[in-house]
Amino acid sequence: MTDLPADAVCIGESMAMLVPEDASPITDRSRFVVRVGGAESNVAVSLARLGHRSRWVSALGADPFGRIVLDDVAGAGVDTSFVVTDDAAPTGIYAKDPQGPSTRVHYYRRGSAASRMDVTGIDPAAAEGAGVVHLSGTTPALSESCRRLTRAVVADRSLGTASVSFDVNYRPGLWSVAEAAGELAAIARRADIVFVGRDEAATLWGTDTAEDVRDLLPEPAVLVVKDGATGASVYGPDGTTWADALRVPVVETVGAGDAFAAGWLSAWLRGLGPECSLRLGHLVASRAVQIVGDCPEVPPRDEIDRYLGLQEGRA
């Protein structure tokens, strides 16, 4: 990897992912392929594919699944030099059970190497000179030490002056609404950029509309409220901006939120406005829902710029 600072640093657990070859529901006749998935590494991979210098920070077990995860993420062009290996804990595993748009996910991650991460184990040099540090609400759900890590990075800015991006990313399989609601709101209020689904905000905080979510979270400079296949809103310094989602055939939706965040952050890192950020988020997410894996291939930069209506040579 280059010695230049990363544009984006993504911190969180990634796991080996078992996926039925035929993208059908799991049965005793299913044949599986091993892929890799995890919210933050998904964002890092898509950012790398979008032409950014991205870095993933995490912990993996000293096992074959850990090697698979590390090789896969590094092979996508992501800097993995700050990933540590834990000889005393395994790499997490999960299985996708495709059910059309309502894919189920079964996790086997308790006690994983990543769940043992703490802020004291992350070298501040990982984020030196970075434009943004990205985390998600999955991390504080893993363990008390991961909760401390998330609070330190978001609230205390333990990794420096980079803008902090936080995807609420509530996972009911990891913790209850009663456990998660207050913690995730407190973390979101200290972030600079927040992504949240309108449906998960309703589950966590009882909000009905995107405007209700902004009223609940007025502190972040930028709040992105996603409304599924309908579209998304940005609340920020330029007011409120809405963009429709793209209508495409859906294979399964796991990973679409990470792809959206990567597309949005890519445009933001390039200094583009909220409309371009939303449109690029939707474009990358639309690619994710058409595949079984979590990290879609993305169009080349010149094709993206034409889609966004940018002049040739724009940064």
As separate numbers, helices (DSSP H) first and strands (DSSP E) second, the chain gives: 10, 14
CA contacts within 13 A on the Cβ side of 229: 11
Q: How far apart are CA 290 and CA 288, in angstroms?
A: 5
Q: How far apart are CA 276 and CA 266, in angstroms?
A: 10
Terminal alpha carbon distance of the chain: 22
Q: How far apart are CA 52 and CA 199, in angstroms?
A: 30
- Quick check: helix, strand or coil at residue 79? strand
* Of 86, 167, 258, 305, catalytic: 258
**Token digits of residue 34:** 């091993």
Instruction: Note if 258 is an active site residue.
Output: yes
**Token digits of residue 234:** 């940005």
Q: How far apart are CA 16 and CA 178, in angstroms?
A: 29
Residue listed under structure tokens 């096992």: 63
Angle at 6 between CA 161 and CA 220, to 5 degrees: 40
**Token digits of residue 67:** 């090697």
Q: How far apart are CA 292 and CA 167, in angstroms?
A: 22
- Quick check: helix, strand or coil at residue 30? coil
Helix residue ranges per DSSP H, the chain: 39-49, 64-75, 138-142, 144-154, 177-190, 198-205, 210-216, 256-269, 274-288, 301-308
Residues acting as catalytic residues: 258
